Amino acid sequence: MFKNHQKIAQQMPKKLLVFMIAVLLSTQFLTAIPTPTSHAANYFIDVSSNHANYKAISTLRRLNIIRGFVDSTFKPDKELTRAELLKLAIAAKGIKVGTPAEARTPFKDVSKLDWFAPYVQFAVNTKIIAAQQNFNPYNPVSRVEAVKIFLNLFAIALPPTITSQPYFDIELNHWALSYVWAVKFRNLLPIDGDLFEPEKTITRGEAAELTHRLLAITTNKVNRYNDDLEVDFSALVITDESEPKEARDLILDRAYVQIDELTKQSVEQVRKSTVNIVIFETDSKQQQAGGGSGIMITQDGYILTNKHVVGRGAEAAMVLYKNNLYDFKIIAVDPLFDLAIIKINSNGFTPAILGDSDAVEIGQTVLSLGYSLSQYDDSLTRGIISGRSRTITASGGGFIETLSGMLQTDAPISPGNSGGPLFNLWGEVIGINTAIDTRGTNLGFAIPINDLKGVIADVIATGELVRPFIGVRFVTLNALIARGGNYGSNKGALLMPGLDGESAIVPGSPAEAAGLQTNDIILKINGIELDDANNTLLNVVQRHKPDDELKLLILRNEQLQELLLKIGSKTAPIPTYQPPPEPTIIRLY
């Protein structure tokens, strides 16, 4: 059939052939697509203005990313094939590929005669898809496969750790968990209900919607609220000569985290749950004297903050949230950490999303939000995680404490940020900003959120904050500290007196009852070897509850011994109103 058409065309005069082609184009194609009078123009006869994906389809057609069929239809409810998916994604990215004749692919079912061959070649070269025996170009695409290809091509950053299911049918061990979580977090697909249906085939209309929303958050080609905005595409030209370089460039581009976009979205989320705490000169609450920050953790007004922020009592402070001032009640304070939980008598708030601080890595980007200098609310700073499991001695608000297991960050933390969130690019709170070291620059410290989750749950359930307590003072050993003395071990918790001369073993404590002595080194608890990272003495004990029994392996006078210790409990009194303290140099904000 095609050979006969080619013969007829060769026998025609060129002018007549050009004229016939022009007539066909003008009658069959151009008249089938009405000239739009606005961004709401109806390009396809089967996509009306009330279609769920109308806006996305119209915008992509106007940008010449998609085209319909000869009969002026788009068939939005038709299943999308694998070949169509690659073409749509690559075209939306603004990438030009070579011709089919130039294409070389590893698939047996993709030849140089196939229109989609260059798209497949590009996807393989840039590792968007894996090189296998067959590509199956005409097979329908599942929703989860489409999401993976689009998010990889658009270099959408995926969360490093996920602790909750985005949908009921996406388990925490699902291979596409991070992709689906990103879809939900960024609202890339309009999914109603609690099911994602990952194996459901994606339609042409849904794929257009996904493309449109990705363009809206990664480029200025489209805007979710004003689709009249158009900007030319910057295309990558893929040819035999330039292909390796361009492929490497795209792989590199995909490796970069889109920090600016993620920052804006995560801040928008976290600021909904961040509050300011206004501190006054006196209990009459007439003159502001300072301030701090807090994190809303429930819809009915429970707030997490530092205890030094409310150390003068609730009578001298109020919560400022969305230009409204609230009186609050101090529910509980932590005897070990610089932590307080307060409550305001209202509801309808947006609670923070609590992340996984154990998964935080050095070098990871983090953000801080708070009431800087008690003047500038919603002040944002950005930095990285500089260290983990830091131990510091800090003072302020009438408290002097040794805080262990702290996260260190170079995100600038100002007076007033204390009690506010340290969070990742996914809007998950991973720490509570607590202290700075003024001897250096940008040395900030935050309490890891995982150390507080159990406490939060207990306080909300019982109204009390009770900590497991064994009653020792100790130093966490590591190789560096061990070089300074003949301890017999470079790991574990060395029990020693405090700097103020207080005993290493608290009188009347569970440690004394168990027979622990000064200079003992606790090596293991219930078989867990103590270290200076996630398994410090404090961390391991805090994973238990009062009355739990611990089996301790200790080193005493170079001899190993085992002791049994029954955990006790410790609470802290609720702060009441105190006059402002005398000015002093402090390192805790």
Is 418 marked active-site? yes
Q: What is the DSSP string of 113-128?
A: TSTTHHHHHHHHHTTS
Structure tokens belonging to residue 469: 């307590």
DSSP β-bridge partners for residue 564: 551
State the CB neighbour count (10 A cutoff) for residue 110.
23
| Catalytic residue (choose from 308, 356, 404, 414) | 308
Cβ atoms of 554 and 521 closer than 8 Å: yes
8 A C-beta contact, residue 202 and residue 81: no
For the record, the structure tokens of 391 come out as: 């131990």
Residues 6+ apart with CB under 8 A from 305: 277, 292, 293, 294, 295, 339, 340, 341, 342, 418, 419, 432
Alpha-carbon distance of 46 to 277, in angstroms, equals 56
Q: What is the 3-state secondary structure (H, E, C) of 38-60?
A: CCCCCCCCCCCCCCCCHHHHHHH
Q: Active-site residue 308, yes or no?
A: yes
Ranges of beta strands (E only) in 212-313 are 274-280, 288-296, 302-305
Contact between 275 and 374 under an 8 Å Cβ cutoff? The reply is no
C-alpha–C-alpha distance, residues 358 and 430, integer Å: 9
- Cα Rg of the chain, angstroms: 31
- Between the CA of residue 310 and those of 317, 331, 404, what are the distances in Å? 7, 11, 21
Coil, strand or helix: which one is 522?
A: strand
| Catalytic annotation, pick one of 114, 227, 334, 338 | 338
First to last CA, the chain: 81
Dihedral of the alpha carbons of 78, 84, 87, 91, in degrees to the nearest 10: 0
Catalytic residue among 418, 451, 509, 532: 418
Q: Which helix (H) or strand (E) holds 244?
A: helix 243-255
Amino acid at 143: R
Cα separation, 218 vs 152, in Å, equals 13
Alpha helices by DSSP H, listed for 427-586, are 450-462, 479-482, 510-514, 537-542
Element (H or E) spanning 269, and its range? helix 259-270
Phi first, then psi, for residue 56 (nearest 5°) are -65, -45
Six token digits for residue 461: 């359930």
The residue among 174, 180, 172, 140 whose CA lies nearest residue 156 is 180
By annotation, the residues acting in catalysis are: 308, 338, 418
